[in-house]
């Protein structure tokens, strides 16, 4: 495991339109970063929508009734929440803040509305990185949505209409934009963005300072013994 990386409570936000391939990219990158010492805890969002085939409560999402979700909103239990395709989605403070405070790095897969909320949060913004995943083309996005087989024609039409708005709205606050036209290349780009952020954190800079002091002491001790 490399000495370059230290868990220090960094928040990575990955957004993009439905069908852009966010989940696949996140899963691949988490697996590939683990061996070099970057562990990313995936935060499971809450939603009012019904589970799809194969989805598991507490792993895919926390599926809750609208009344429960609204009660959580009233109690200010979300760091971000939004209406997405006529359903409510949100990231709970309990899922994220406790981990960040304990030094764990967290990655989110959320809508651009939630990413924008975090981008203006004075506490979270300094420790966050916003990344937007672009589809390679509108036609490609439409084909992906059809291939997934998860949505009706009306739902696909709604998602396609919303995709252009998301791209336009997100360009103001995203730190990186990655075009997912090749999964392997896109995964390397996402890894590079995460690694770059980890090398710039306060913990990383403190580690560099400590390393420099230690090397100076070792150098001075070696030369002192030589004389």
pLDDT above 70 coverage of the chain, percent: 87
**Which DSSP letter does residue 39 get?**
-
Residues 100-115, mean pLDDT to the nearest whole number: 93
pLDDT band at 134 (very low <50, low <70, confident <90, very high): confident
Residue listed under structure tokens 């150098």:
219
Contact 163, 111 (CB under 8 A): no
Domain ranges of the chain: 11-43+103-226
Query: pLDDT-derived band of residue 169, with 50, 70 and 90 as boundaries?
Result: confident
Of the two residues 180 and 135, the one the predictor is more confident about is 180
**Could you tell me the CATH superfamily of domain 11-43+103-226?**
P-loop containing nucleotide triphosphate hydrolases (3.40.50.300)
Question: Checking DSSP bridges between strand 78-84 and strand 87-92, what pairing results, if any?
Answer: antiparallel
Q: Which of the four pLDDT bands, split at 50, 70 and 90, describes residue 220?
A: low
> How far is it, in rounded angstroms, from Cα 114 to Cα 96?
14
Phi and psi at 102, nearest 5°, equal -85, 5
Contact 88/66 with Cβ under 8 angstroms? yes
Contact at 8 Å (CB) between 131 and 174? Answer: yes
Chain center to CA of 104 = 13
Q: What is the predicted pLDDT for the residue at 210?
A: 64
Q: What is the pLDDT of residues 67-99, one digit of tens each?
A: 999 999 999 999 999 998 789 999 999 989 999
Q: What's the pTM?
A: 0.83
CA distance 118 to 190: 19
Average pLDDT over residues 146-174: 78
Better-predicted residue by pLDDT, 149 or 112: 112
């Amino acid at each position: 495991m490399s000495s370059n990386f230290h868990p220090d409570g960094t928040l990575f936000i990955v957004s993009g339109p439905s069908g852009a391939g966010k989940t696949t990219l996140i899963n691949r990158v988490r697996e590939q970063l683990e061996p070099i010492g970057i562990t990313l805890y995936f935060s499971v969002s809450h939603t009012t929508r019904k589970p799809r085939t194969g989805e598991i409560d507490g792993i895919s999402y926390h599926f809750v009734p609208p009344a429960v979700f609204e009660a959580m909103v009233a109690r200010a239990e979300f760091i971000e929440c939004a209406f997405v395709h006529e359903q409510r989605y949100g990231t709970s403070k309990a899922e994220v803040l406790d981990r960040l405070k304990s030094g764990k790095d967290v990655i989110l897969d959320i809508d651009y509305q939630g990413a924008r909320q975090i981008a203006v949060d004075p506490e979270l913004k300094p420790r966050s990185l916003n990344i937007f995943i672009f589809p390679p083309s509108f036609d490609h996005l439409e084909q992906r949505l059809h291939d997934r087989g998860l949505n009706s024609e009306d739902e696909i039409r709604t998602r396609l209409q919303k995709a252009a708005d998301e791209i336009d709205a997100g360009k103001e606050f995203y730190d990186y934009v990655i075009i997912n036209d090749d999964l392997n290349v896109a995964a390397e780009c996402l890894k590079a963005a995460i690694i770059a952020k980890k090398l710039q954190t306060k913990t990383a800079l403190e580690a560099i300072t400590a390393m420099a002091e230690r090397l100076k002491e070792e150098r001075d001790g070696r030369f002192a013994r030589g004389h």
